[in-house]
Structure 1
Amino acid sequence: MVEWDIRKLQILRTLRERETVTATAEALRMTPSAVSQQLTNLARQLGVPLLEAQGRRVRLTDAARLVLRHAEAVFEQLERADAELAAYTQGEAGEVRVGAFSTAVPALVVPAVRALRTRHPGVSVRVREAEAGEAYELLAAGDVDLALSLAAQAPTAADPRFTRVPLLADPLDLALPRDHPLAAVDGLRLADLAGEPWIFGGSGPWSDITRGACEAAGFSPVQGHSAAGWTAILAMVEAGMGVALVPRMAVVAREGVAMRELTEDRPRRHVVAAVRKGAGEGAAVGRVLGVLREVAGELSEGAQAVTR
């Protein structure tokens, strides 16, 4: 029977994700020569070639992909074993490391931490602000236990490494200068602002969300100014420099800004959590996920109350 080496399989898995030996070595804090040696030893143990040259790089063979397909089930089972062992030894105690995008921290994570202090004081949360790309790298590397991101930036449900958990459909409201002629108009639609200068990031998910919402309403937004932070965007709106779509959970009240709910073409952004496959069964991670769902549900109910 073949001798399976979990550490070497993890190196092969990381190579598949990082694509080069150098990047794999950096991710695993190894030298490139050590990575190459371990993979050569693994190929010898398994009796099949795992890598083949492709120019100055290497690519995984079909045999390597077959091995990894089966190894994913092993990794998932090991995560489940770790989770069950932690639940056995710690019970209600444990630390959960959370990577979350900026607006999710005050809106979702902080209220969840407050609730956990009351209900499960033995469960602590360590928060790391991280945008989606970094958060999922940290999650895959084991540096965080739970990642929060927009659904559009999350790995697909078919990704064998993670389990996705839907949390929230966050409504997008329209931010206008307080003295804008449409600031007090009932039944406001996105199309009513088609001729306005819009403020949003030059690229990335928020640019895509704004453009997509406006195009669904029948027009392409003219970008008057580019900004990524909500403080900067709302300050420019307050100064009369343009209008913007702002997620409800990111809004900070400003005297000179009128926040208006859209009665039609109401866009939303979807927020999800993700854990490594099998890890969600751990007591501490499960507690944090449960409280995050509750906080998200309260936010959703609040949003529905606003619309009624």
Structure 2
Amino acid sequence: MAEHDKWDIKKLIILRTLRERGTVTATAEALLLTPSAVSQQLTNLAKQLGVPLLEAQGRRVRLTGAAHLVLRHAEAVFEQLERADAELAAYAHGEVGEVRVGAFSTAVPALVVPVVRALRVARPGVRVQVREAEAGEAYDLLGAGEVDLALSLAARAVPDSGDGRFTRVPLLADPLDVALPVDHALAGVAEVRLADLAGEAWIFGGSGPWSDITRGACEAAGFVPRQGHSAAGWTAILAMVGAGMGVALVPRMALAVAGRGDGVVMRALDADRPRRHVVAAVRRGGEGAPAVASVLDALRAEARALTARRPG
């Protein structure tokens, strides 16, 4: 028998209960055992440890000095097991754990940071590790196991995909407004339609989800946008618009983070109602992990709050 096998937790619990209850009968009743089973288990434990644990005291038994020594050391084991049970229970309820989140630039301040703050209060044992990543890169990180949850963009609430590795959760439909130079001919028009801007130079990234979203919105309005300049960051895009270098579609969530900038006028496109969709993704089956589920719930709540705060 290996040395650690001597320390049978179930039998140690019986010994501790006997110390607390005082008699074999009371111990049996407390543990839903028969008195003979209690006696047998304690006899076996004494053999395993190689020391006497009980001695006769009239018609009763009492613990030996060796038994008290054993229990003194066993208490540390019981305490650690209690901690383990508490942590497992917390884990099962999504109260502890680490979740690695990959998110595109505007989602970090608009969605992820508020979620981290909220979880510090509601789930202080859940740690969120944030990694900024381009919207298209987030899926690569998720597939490689480098993040547990990815925030990305799509032209539709639930994007079509043949990749069965991921489960996607729609979070937010973000309205797209058009950014115009302040001296643009349509800057003072109350209602602008995308078709009115078919001949303009457009500023958007060369590839990736945002490029697809811009092209898709314009094509839905009946034209293919002519790309005048390529940029990925909103500060750069809005600076170019302000300099009269072109026009751009700008999500309201991004505008709230980046600010409009000088020389730029924003116009809503209510008639066209273009949207970009913010989507959370996890590896298929991963949504059942309690800590991940807690982060997803917090993201949904923050997305609802963000939608309620913004017009449109």
For the criterion TM > 0.5, the same-fold answer is: yes
Flag the structure with larger Rg. 2
Is the contact made by 1:87 and 1:284 (CA closer than 8 Å) also made in structure 2? Answer: no
- Cα offsets for 1:218-258 (capped at 9, x unmatched): 22222222212211110001111111001111112213211
Per the alignment, residue 96 of structure 1 pairs with 99
Structure 1 vs Structure 2 CA RMSD: 2.4
- Distance in 2 separating the partners of 1:126 and 1:302: 26
Report Cα offsets for 1:93-137 as digits up to 9, x if no partner.
211110112221111111111111122122110001123443223
1:140: how far off?
2.7
- 1:177 and 1:239 in contact (8 A); partners too: yes
Aligned pair in 2 of structure 1 residues 215, 157: CA closer, same or farther (>3 Å)?
closer
Q: Is 1:271–2:278 an aligned residue pair?
A: yes
Assess if the C-alpha contact under 8 Å between 1:157 and 1:163 holds in 2.
no
Residue 225 of structure 2 corresponds to residue 209 of structure 1: no
SS, match of residue 270 in structure 1: strand
Q: Quote the residue 1:12 is aligned against.
A: none
Amino acid of the structure 2 residue aligned with 1:96: V
| Alignment partner, residue 53 of structure 1 | none
Q: Using structure 2 for the length normalisation, give the TM-score.
A: 0.65
Structure 1's 212 and 117: CA in aligned 2 closer, same or farther, altered over 3 A?
same
Choose the corresponding residue for 1:138, options 136, 141, 145: 141
**2:183 matched residue in structure 1:** 179
Q: How does 1:195-234 map to 2 (within 5 A)?
A: 195-234=199-238
Q: TM-score, normalised by structure 1?
A: 0.65
Query: What corresponds to 2:153 in structure 1?
Result: 150
Does 2:216 correspond to 1:190? no
| Matching residue's letter, 1:179 | D
1:197 touches 1:243 (CA, 8 Å); kept in 2?
yes
C-alpha displacement of 1:157:
6.1
**Given the alignment, which residue of 274, 284, 287 partners 1:280?**
287
Q: Report the CA distance shift for 1:114/1:167 in structure 2 as closer, same or farther (over 3 A).
A: same
Structure 1 equivalent of residue 132 of structure 2: 129
Q: Deviation per CA, 1:127-165: give whole Å up to 9, x if none.
A: 011234432233233321111111359985664432211
1:177 is aligned with what amino acid? P
Contact 1:171 1:247 in 2 (8 A): yes
Which residue in the other structure is 1:298 paired with?
Answer: 305
8 Å CA contact 1:86, 1:283 repeated in 2: no
SS, match of residue 124 in structure 1:
strand
Q: Check conservation: 2:135, 2:208, Cα contact below 8 A.
A: no
Query: 1:121 and 1:160 mapped to 2: Cα distance?
Result: 33
State which drifts further: 164-173 or 145-154. Answer: 145-154
Alignment match, 1:237: 241
Question: In the alignment, is the contact (CA less than 8 A) between 1:167 and 1:292 conserved in 2?
Answer: yes
Amino acid at match of 2:99: V
1:170-202 Cα deviation digits (max 9, x unpaired): 111100112323222112111122222211122
Q: Identity of counterpart residues, as a percentage?
A: 71
4+ residue runs over 4 A deviation: 152-158
Unaligned runs of 5+ in 2: 1-85
